[in-house]
Structure 1
Amino acid sequence: MSDPFAIETDEATRHLSLSDSAVARLNRLIKQEGKPDLMLRVTVSGGGCSGYQYGFDFDTKSGADDLVFERDGVRVVTDTVSMDLLAGSELDYVDDLVGAYFKVNNPNASSSCGCGTSFSV
């Protein structure tokens, strides 16, 4: 791999799971938008206070280099480069005193920031 921080993954670990609360929240958001073909796109890019940061956006299409994960009719899509850093992660939705937000429980992250949107490996 050309990226010295990339994580070696195999097909068995190249998955992203969704928690019950993430599925429920995505179902509500998609119904509110009235577009049943919406997918949540999860990306990883350089930046943030810990080196990498997560990005969340809705999308209606997936590309040739995308991986799509589905649970209970909800679809989450990510590109293969982001999957190198997301492999084995769980997408969760948290609603607590701090606020309501999507959170990635990433076993590849060696540390993360207080806001939970950036991490390092």
Structure 2
Amino acid sequence: MTAGILSEMQGSTPVKEITISEFGAQKAQGILASSGKENAGVRVFIKSGGCSGYQYGMAIDDRELEGDTIVIDRGIKLLVDQMSLSLLRGSEVDFVENMMGGGFTVHNPNATSNCGCGHSFRTDGAQSPDGEGSGGCSSA
């Protein structure tokens, strides 16, 4: 009977609030290793602004603040503050490379539209704040 309970518990892995892709984890590992901060992680947060209303932000952080959700995925510690979590829940941090360079991005299932090459997003389908444009990814 105990073995049955253990196998059921092992089969029901809790869903992570936020994840990181394999390539994103590789890139983050290198950045964290060179940061000089012991036990640092990647803080993912939302701030107001951008062409759609919200912008993603990321930083190397060795502090765990009250209310933070801390997820370890692929060996990387992801820290998300309480206010940002509702907008980031279910998201995946990734690293993309293209002809313009490379950088971290967030694949967010909560975003109903985005602009600024995916750095800005909106969740409710409403118009951009203050009539701001759609932003776009230009190579100018």
Q: Which residue of 2 aligns with 1:117?
A: 119
TM superposition shift of 1:114 = 3.4
**Which residue type is aligned with residue 35 of structure 2?**
E
Which ranges of structure 2 fall in alignment gaps of 5 or more residues? 1-13, 124-140
SS of aligned partner of 2:79: strand
The whole-number CA distance in structure 2 between the counterparts of 1:13 and 1:52 is: 25
TM-score, reference length from structure 2? 0.73
**Which residue type is aligned with residue 78 of structure 1?**
V
TM superposition shift of 1:76 = 1.0
Give the 5 Å matches for 1:14-93: 15-93=17-95
1:55-112 Cα distance to aligned partner (Å, 9 max, x none) = 1111101112100111232111011110110011111011121221111000010110
Greater share of residues in helix:
2
SS of aligned partner of 1:112: strand
SS of aligned partner of 2:39: coil
Greater share of residues in strand:
1
| Residues matched between the structures, number | 110
Which ranges of structure 1 fall in alignment gaps of 5 or more residues? 1-11
Distance 1:99 1:46, change over 3 A: same
Q: Is the 8 A contact 2:44 2:57 kept in 1?
A: yes
Identity %: 36
SS of aligned partner of 1:54: strand
Could you say which structure has the larger radius of gyration? 2
